Amino acid sequence: MITPVLPTYARAPLAFVEGQGPWLIDEKGDRYFDLGAGIAVNVLGHANPTLVSALEDQARRLWHTSNLYRIPNQEKLAELLVEHTFADTMFFTNSGAEAMECAIKMARKFHSHAGNPERFRVITFEGSFHGRTLATISAAGGEKLTKGFGPLLPGFDHAVYGDLESVKALIGPETAAIAIEPILGEGGIIQPERAFLKALREICDAEGLLLIMDEIQTGVGRTGKLFAHEWAGVTPDIMAIAKGIGGGFPLGACLATERAAAGMTAGTHGSTYGGNPLGCAVGVAVMETVTGPGFLEEVNRLAGALRQKLEGLISAHPTVLESVRGEGLMIGIRCKAANMDVVNAGYDARLLVVPAADNAIRLLPPLNITDAEIDEAMARLDAACVAVEAAQREAAG
Ligand X SMILES: *Cc1c(COP(=O)(O)O)cnc(C)c1O
Query: What is the contact surface with ligand X in residues (CB under 6 A)?
Result: 95-97, 100, 129-131, 181, 185-186, 214, 216-217, 242-243
**Was 174 annotated as part of a binding site?**
no
Q: Nearer to ligand X by C-beta: 186 or 327?
A: 186
Nearer to ligand X among residue 33 and residue 125 (C-beta): 125
Q: Closest CB to ligand X among 102 and 387?
A: 102
Which residue blocks in the chain are alpha helix, DSSP H?
37-40, 49-61, 72-84, 96-113, 134-140, 143-146, 164-168, 194-207, 229-232, 277-290, 295-316, 339-348, 371-396
CB of 229 to ligand X, least distance (A): 13
Question: Is position 132 annotated in a ligand binding site?
Answer: yes
Q: How many helices (H) and strands (E) does the chain have?
A: 13, 15
Is 217 marked within a binding site?
A: yes
Instruction: Report how far Cα 156 is from the mean position of its chain's Cα atoms.
Output: 21
Q: Given the residues 225, 243, 309, 336, select the one marked as catalytic.
A: 243
Confirm whether 243 is a catalytic residue. Answer: yes
Nearest distance from residue 389's CB to ligand X, in Å?
Answer: 31
Q: Say whether 129 counts as a known binding-site residue.
A: yes
Contact indicator for 296, 322 with CB cutoff of 8 Å: no
Q: Specify the residue, 45 or 185, whose C-beta has the smaller distance to ligand X.
A: 185
Residue 3, annotated ligand binder? Answer: no
- Cα dihedral across residues 207, 208, 214, 218: positive or negative: positive
**Residue-wise burial string across 324-334, b where 16 or more C-beta atoms lie within 10 A, e elsewhere:** bbbbbbbbbbb
The one catalytic residue in 120, 125, 129, 227 is 129
Q: Distance between CA atoms of 278 and 263, rounded to whole angstroms?
A: 29
- Nearer of residues 73 and 128 to ligand X, judged by Cβ: 128
Instruction: State how far the Cα of 34 lies from the Cα of 354, in Å rounded to an integer.
Output: 10
CB 224 within 8 A of CB 296: yes
Closest residue to ligand X: CB criterion: 96
214 marked as part of a ligand binding site:
yes
Minimum distance between the CB of residue 96 and ligand X, rounded to whole angstroms? 2
**What is the closest distance, in whole angstroms, from the C-beta atom of residue 90 to ligand X in the complex?**
16
The answer to whether 129 is a known catalytic residue is yes
Residues in CB range of 50: below 8 A, 6 or more apart: 44, 285, 289
Nearest CA among 379, 350, 378, 348 for reference residue 363: 378
Catalytic residue among 214, 237, 249, 309: 214
- Which residues are part of a known binding site for pyridoxal 5'-phosphate? 96-97, 129, 214-217, 272
Catalytic residues: 129, 214, 243
- Which residues are part of a known binding site for N(2)-acetyl-L-ornithine? 132, 271
- Which residues are part of a known binding site? 96-97, 129, 132, 214-217, 271-272
